Amino acid sequence: MVLQFFKSSYAKVKSALSRARSFFGEKIKSLFQGKIDEAALEKLEQFLYEVDFGVQTSKELTNKIRQLQKENPSLKPDDYYSALRSHLVSLLSRYPSALVQIPEEKLPLVILIVGVNGNGKTTSVAKLSYLLKQGNQKVLVAAADTFRAAAIEQLETWAHRLNIDIVKGTPQSDPAAVAFDALQAAKARKCDAVIVDTAGRLHTKIPLMQELEKIRRSCSKASSGGPHEVLLVLDATTGQNAIDQAKQFHKFTPLTGIILTKLDGTAKGGIVAAIQQELGIPVKFIGTGEQIDDIQPFDPQTFVDNLFE
C-alpha cells in the first residue's frame, strides 16, 4: 500500500492561498455585513461566479444561504459566513481526494501524468516523486514526453537531484515503448510507484490523444491493473479554460484525478470546486509554488479554512 502517510501542510496552503484569501475572504465578509435579501444573494452568486466557482457551484452555495435565511431570518453575518464555509467543505468532500490504494502484490502503483504544455506537468512529476520518497516509497519516473528533448532533460535533472531512478526515451521515440520499459524496470527493481510523464499534447489534436491512449494500453499490458491513476495537470490561473481542457482529456483518456498547479498565482480559488462539481473528478493534489516541496494533497477543510481567513 502506498501513500497512507500524506498529510496536508496548513502553512503551505496558507501561504499559497494568500492572494485568494485577501480577495475572497474580505469580499465575502463585506457581502454578509448588510441585510441578506434577494439583492444580496444575487451579489453573492455573481461574486462566486467571478472567482471561478462556475455556474453550478455558485448557484448551489447561494441556494444554501437563501434557504438558511428563509428558515431563520434573524441570523447574524457570522452565521452566514460560517454556513458558507461549512457548505463549501462538504461540497468539496464529495469526491475522495486520496490516491488509490492497491494491494502489495500489485505494486508498483502506476501513475500516468497528462496535460497541456506549460501547466506544470514535469514539475508535478518531480514534486510527486519527492512526496512519495518522503514516505520511504521507492519511485521510478518515466520520461515519456519524447516530443520535447527539454522535457526529458528537465526530468533527468530532477531525478538526479532526488536520487531516484529514471527510464527515458530518445527524442521522437515511441512514448508507449518508454512507458512499457519503465514499468518493466520498476517491477524488476521492486519499486512502489512509477510516475509517467507524457507529452503536452494539445487536447484538440485527436491523433495525439490517440497516442496517449496507446501509452495507457502499454501501461495496462506491463502492469497489474495499471495505470491505477491518470492525473491531469491543470493550471489554476486559467479559469474556465482549465475546465474545457479537462473535458477534452476526460473524453479520450478517463481521468482519475486532477493536480491543480499554481494556486499561489491566482486570487480566485473557486476553480477547485468548479472542476470537481462540473466534471465529477476529484482534485487530488494542489501546486503551491515552484519548489520541489510545493505540492500538497488536497484537503477540503485546510483549503477552505485558508481561503476564508
Per-residue contact track with ligand GDP, 227 to 256, x per CB under 6 A?
------------------------------
Q: Which is nearer to ligand GDP, 43 or 133 (CB)?
A: 133
Per-residue contact track with ligand GDP, 197 to 216, x per CB under 6 A?
---x----------------
Q: Which of 59, 85, 289, 292 binds ligand GDP (CB under 6 A)?
A: 289
**Neighbour tally for 175: CB within 10 Å:** 25
Pairing mode of beta strands 295-297, 229-235: unpaired
Phi-psi region of 13 (alpha: psi -120 to 50; beta: other; left: phi over 0): alpha
Asked if 264 touches ligand GDP (CB under 6 A), the answer is yes
Stretch that binds ligand GDP, among 6-14, 52-60, 241-249, 260-268 (CB under 6 A): 260-268
Residues 123-142 that bind ligand GDP (CB under 6 A): 123
To ligand GDP, the closest distance from the beta carbon of 27 in angstroms equals: 23
Beta bridge partners of 193: 109, 139
Q: Which is nearer to ligand GDP, 36 or 215 (CB)?
A: 215
Of the candidates 225, 150, 131, 223, which has an alpha carbon nearest to the alpha carbon of residue 184? 223
List strand residue ranges (DSSP E) for 89-245, in order. Answer: 109-114, 139-144, 165-168, 193-198, 229-235
Give the Cα separation of 149 and 156 in Å (integer).
11
Asked if 60 touches ligand GDP (CB under 6 A), the answer is no
State residue 142 phi and psi, 5-degree precision: -115, 120
Number of shown-chain residues binding ligand GDP (CB under 6 A): 19
Asked if 78 touches ligand GDP (CB under 6 A), the answer is no
Asked if 122 touches ligand GDP (CB under 6 A), the answer is yes
Q: Which is nearer to ligand GDP, 294 or 299 (CB)?
A: 294
Identify whether the C-beta of residue 284 lies closer than 8 Å to the C-beta of residue 95: no
Q: Kindly state the cell numbers that stand for 18.
A: 494568500
Q: Kindly state the cell numbers that stand for 259.
A: 493536480
Identify whether the C-beta of residue 290 lies closer than 8 Å to the C-beta of residue 160: no
DSSP 27-48: HHHHHTTS--SHHHHHHHHHHH
Stretch that binds ligand GDP, among 157-165, 179-187, 272-280, 287-295 (CB under 6 A): 287-295
DSSP H/E element including 87: helix 77-92
To ligand GDP, the closest distance from the beta carbon of 233 in angstroms equals: 6
To ligand GDP, the closest distance from the beta carbon of 175 in angstroms equals: 14
Stretch that binds ligand GDP, among 48-56, 76-84, 87-95, 258-266 (CB under 6 A): 258-266
Identify whether the C-beta of residue 263 lies closer than 8 Å to the C-beta of residue 290: no
Asked if 108 touches ligand GDP (CB under 6 A), the answer is no
Asked if 261 touches ligand GDP (CB under 6 A), the answer is yes
Stretch that binds ligand GDP, among 76-84, 90-98, 100-108, 282-290 (CB under 6 A): 282-290
DSSP H/E element including 285: strand 283-287
Positions in the binding site for ligand GDP (CB under 6 A): 115, 117-123, 151, 200, 261-262, 264-265, 287-290, 294
